[in-house]
Structure 1
Amino acid sequence: MPELVLKGCGTALITPFRNGEIDYDAYRVLVRRQLEAGIDFLVPLGTTAETPCLDNGEKCELMRLSRELCPDLPLVVGVGTNSLSQTLANIRMLGEYGPDAYLVVVPYYNKPTQDGIYEYFKAVAENADRPIIAYNVPGRTGTNMTAATTLRLAGIPGIIAVKEASGNLAQIVDVIREAPEGFSVFSGNDDQTLPLMACGADGVISVASNIAPEQVIGLVRAVQAGDLKAAARANSNLVPLFKGCFVESNPIPVKAALALMGYCTPEMRLPLTKAGQATFDTMKNIIDNLGI
């Protein structure tokens, strides 16, 4: 298995739609914008990409296009489901397009025990040809992966990192403090990037960087440089954006903002629906204040 060390800022990319179909031209523009901003890695086909509403052909084309546009940038592709066999099928299918790692979410709806979570990820890692990043997001999955379970997973060859979106700072700091060398911790919540990186986290997998890549990257770079005063200023400027991205279910507000900026339509696929006017108004005010 190839070695991979990830740090810094990664963007969980949206999937733009137009008239019910993926707008691949808009996707190209969005990816190039990330590259020009200096993003460290990209995450196609995550939750922010509305992946549950994409068919296999669309997933393959997005992954193929992502690698074409980013021949040298690390790509972490979302493959996780609540079925081991389906997750492994996604790995086999998308592995052909050259991802550098797989993002695997804690199985949702099933509500597995901590032992079930451990055995699931162990089985995924044993059958994967590339490194695994575990993704803990109990607000979406219904189950929290505890620090103890995460640290058990950190000892499995091939599991190299966790994206932590539990919102539980004490839990995440426990993982940061006790994780073995070489195991990375990424904030899965934009608004916790600064405190978690200040405690030793390796970066963020960001939603807000779809909208303001330079600014979110600037926050991350300031923490990496040890300039916490500059990081605090950057974070303060970004707090309204971090909050705005979740005034409706992600990625509804993100698409509203990008539509206002002319990068794509605000179109969603059901069961998600286009942003309401209040969200458009909120996002317009935020992007105007940020000057983007």
Structure 2
Amino acid sequence: RIVKEIPGVVGIKEASGNISQIVKLMALTDGNIDLYSGNDDQVVPLLSMGGLGVISVVANVAPRAMHDMCYKFFEGDIAGAAKLQRDTNELCNNLFSEVNPIPVKKAVEFMGYQAGPLRMPLTEMEPAHAAALKKAMQDFGIL
């Protein structure tokens, strides 16, 4: 409806997590709207349905991996893109263990950068989640 009623809409960040909804959206827009994944764990599936890329949280801490995932897909290396999708899964899960931006700010801190304070009503990351995130980052090789 928005696409038909509001002129100038050129793209959609799809973050429902619902593959059936994504297929329906692609059919309704008939390829006339650029579609980007808003879910880091569904990049390759969305690209396979005609998506153009990702608006990524994971890219804040692993930009090369997300770049390479899309690049490989568009170069025809679907297996390579799918492998990167699988390889980033645990990191992705941990970056979404709490509401954004809590985990990504903690991840950036683990990398030695100042992320700044959280704004109300957000609170510090649960210690167990922070430990799991740190381990996922170590396992992925970014710490």
TM-score higher than 0.5 here? yes
Question: Whose strand fraction is larger, Structure 1's or Structure 2's?
Answer: 1
Partner of residue 256, structure 1: 106
Q: Tell me how far 1:154 sits from its aligned partner.
A: 5.0
- Any stretches of 5+ residues in structure 1 without a counterpart? 1-148
For residues 4 and 95 of structure 2, the distance between their equivalents in structure 1, rounded to whole angstroms, comes to 30
**Cα distance, 1:154–1:288 mapped onto 2, change above 3 Å:** farther
Partner of residue 56, structure 2: 206
2:88 aligned to which of 238, 257, 271: 238
Question: Structure 1 residues 257-266 or 282-291, which shifts more?
Answer: 257-266
For residues 168 and 270 of structure 1, the distance between their equivalents in structure 2, rounded to whole angstroms, comes to 30
For residues 86 and 35 of structure 2, the distance between their equivalents in structure 1, rounded to whole angstroms, comes to 23
For residues 242 and 248 of structure 1, the distance between their equivalents in structure 2, rounded to whole angstroms, comes to 11
For residues 183 and 191 of structure 1, the distance between their equivalents in structure 2, rounded to whole angstroms, comes to 22
Instruction: Please list the CA deviations of residues 23-58 of structure 1 after superposition, one character each: whole Å capped at 9, or x if unmatched.
Output: xxxxxxxxxxxxxxxxxxxxxxxxxxxxxxxxxxxx
Q: Tell me how far 1:180 sits from its aligned partner.
A: 3.9
2:97 aligned to which of 243, 247, 255: 247
Q: How many residues align?
A: 142
2:35 aligned to which of 168, 171, 185: 185
Q: Secondary structure at the match of 2:85?
A: helix
- Any stretches of 5+ residues in structure 2 without a counterpart? none
- Identity among equivalent pairs (%): 38
Question: Whose helix fraction is larger, Structure 1's or Structure 2's?
Answer: 2
Alignment RMSD (CA, Å): 1.7
For residues 113 and 51 of structure 2, the distance between their equivalents in structure 1, rounded to whole angstroms, comes to 31
For residues 269 and 197 of structure 1, the distance between their equivalents in structure 2, rounded to whole angstroms, comes to 34
TM-score (norm. length: structure 1): 0.46
In 2, are the aligned partners of 1:163 and 1:188 still within 8 Å (CA)? yes
Q: Tell me how far 1:281 sits from its aligned partner.
A: 0.8
**Cα distance, 1:276–1:208 mapped onto 2, change above 3 Å:** same
For residues 12 and 4 of structure 2, the distance between their equivalents in structure 1, rounded to whole angstroms, comes to 9
Query: Which consecutive aligned stretches of 4+ in structure 1 deviate over 6 angstroms post-superposition?
Result: none
For residues 66 and 92 of structure 2, the distance between their equivalents in structure 1, rounded to whole angstroms, comes to 10
**Cα distance, 1:154–1:209 mapped onto 2, change above 3 Å:** farther
After TM superposition, the structure 1 = structure 2 runs for residues 22-33 of structure 1, keeping only pairs within 5 Å, are none
